Structure 1
């Protein structure tokens, strides 16, 4: 299997803008586990101290007590699923959103739209695309006391400010997934492979 993969621009764009990715891990006995994860995508030239590398990474954090962590320690081969069933330039639930606007009380004189209302309004103006991508990769646990861990933690917090409790903590570690290949399918059942 190739050590670097050339990802198409539409997949890179999706990785940069989506809020969540589904992470599939398996134990040493091949028992699967799937988790919905906040993440950040790292382009080759933005990777920690990897000059000249063409590797793409997905970075996330997890507690050492989770099944996904135990699986990654036993079996570092992982799979990621990401999709753009609905896309919009400024969709409320995207990474750039830090809104925690509550649903207004009936006593409020100045009505504020809820996050759900914002989302529904933006969905009406959204462009439907319907692409999904399955990425295969190798996961590495980053030493929590390293500069690399600090580097990626800051990136995770910058793009996921509402996920602080999943990223910071004495028991949490940063996981780096090196993308090895990708399979992209669209709503017309056309599939493309990138290795």
Structure 2
């Protein structure tokens, strides 16, 4: 199914631009598992050349010795949660680089420990973040996507094709994408449920 034909633009934007997806899998014994994953949305127009199904996919990489991969092999039905938790751009949730940080002053750290700042001089980062969150614009919707997962044969042309796209959109996740024991998985998108902050729900099949 092509999502561009069935899903509204705001849902597609969420799927295309979210950094991570929460992936839920389930074992044959009905034991659930959730993992935070890098991913790439692949519209049918960008699917592998031999794929004539006209489906849109979510592509991700996983190690073959993980619980999620074992679950997918035995039970390919999965669920994915997309949510951009914060849309405000001014929150100080990113850590500073070393070049942006000054040299620690031992007199400002307990017992001369340069790794721990004293609380009077450095207020709680968590408290500061919560204060910022109180004034931030939060995202108004989240989407749950149900799909059917299929592992792609490692080192095949299809696997290498999707691996290159996944790496292009997630250059910071090379350790997960290029690992020797990595398997590329594609999830055929089958349905979506969107809920906003007012608890309004829309379902798309």
Using the TM superposition, name which of 81-90 and 140-149 deviates more: 81-90
- Contact 2:2 2:43 (C-alpha < 8 Å) held by counterparts: no
- What is the SS of the residue equivalent to 2:59? strand
Greater helix share, structure number: 2
Post-superposition offset of 1:85: 3.0
- Contact 1:83 1:131 (C-alpha < 8 Å) held by counterparts: yes
Post-superposition offset of 1:193: 0.5
- Aligned: 1:147 with 2:157: yes
Return the alpha-carbon distance in structure 2 between the equivalents of residues 54 and 11 of structure 1. 19
- Contact 1:21 1:39 (C-alpha < 8 Å) held by counterparts: yes
Alignment TM-score, normalising by the size of structure 1: 0.79
Unaligned runs of 5+ in 2: 105-124
Corresponding residue for residue 75 of structure 1: 75
- Contact 1:144 1:174 (C-alpha < 8 Å) held by counterparts: yes
- Cα deviation, 1:82-140, whole Å, max 9, x if unaligned, reads 112322589999xxxxx9834634249xxxxxxx9xxx8x9899743321100000000
- What is the SS of the residue equivalent to 1:73? helix
Unaligned runs of 5+ in 1: 94-98, 109-115
- What is the SS of the residue equivalent to 1:29? coil
Corresponding residue for residue 191 of structure 2: 181
Corresponding residue for residue 180 of structure 2: 170
CA RMSD of aligned residues (A): 3.0
- What is the SS of the residue equivalent to 1:16? helix
The count of aligned residue pairs is 178
- Contact 2:2 2:44 (C-alpha < 8 Å) held by counterparts: no
Q: Equivalent of 1:106, from 98, 102, 112? A: 102
Q: Equivalent of 1:156, from 152, 163, 166? A: 166
Post-superposition offset of 1:44: 1.6
Q: How does 1:25-174 map to 2 (within 5 A)?
A: 25-49=25-49, 53-87=53-87, 101-102=97-98, 104-107=100-103, 127-174=137-184
Using the TM superposition, name which of 181-190 and 42-51 deviates more: 42-51
* Higher-Rg member (1/2): 2
Alignment TM-score, normalising by the size of structure 2: 0.76
Corresponding residue for residue 111 of structure 1: none
Q: Alpha carbons of 1:25 and 1:144: their partners in 2 closer, same or farther (altered >3 Å)?
A: same
